[in-house]
Amino acid sequence: MKRILLLISLILISFSGFSQSRYISSTTKKIVFTRDGGKCQCCGRRDKLEYDHIIPFSCGGKNDPSNIQLLCQRCNRSKSNSCVCKIHQKKVGTNCCQGETSNSSMIITSTQCTGITLKGLRCKNRTRNKNGRCHHHQSPDL
């Protein structure tokens, strides 16, 4: 009986964890890989590919195929939480927590997270949450 309860609780925890996480399903990955031709959408490399959120996850970007793109590790790390690959000076994202959208009638405002990192520094992520904290710092004690 204890094993069954443990199994059920683990299943429930795993589902609730994926609903608001950076987790990208294998189905979404297959769709994006096929759509993007198996290459970096910035420089065209075909190795060390990563799945990148076009609208950053920290700014409310979803895990839908329409918001995911393939970038090589170098371009993805260079882009970070912005819209531009700093290596190639090429725009590879939208919104980027700056209020920039393709629809000019929709204005999205964001602020810098008020959370503190483990090193004691202010978090550099931007957020649209009303509490002023990004997904890493949702509870006040983090």
Q: What is the pLDDT of residues 1-45, one digit of tens each?
A: 777 877 776 666 555 544 457 788 999 999 999 999 999 999 999
CATH architecture of 23-108: Orthogonal Bundle (1.10)
Distances (CA, A) of 8 to 1, 18, 25, 128: 11, 16, 21, 34
**CA 35 – CA 124 distance, rounded (Å):** 32
**Per-residue pLDDT tens digits for 35-90:** 999 999 999 999 999 999 888 887 778 888 988 999 999 998 888 777 788 888 88
User: Which secondary structure element, helix H or strand E, spans residue 17, and what is its range?
Assistant: helix 2-19
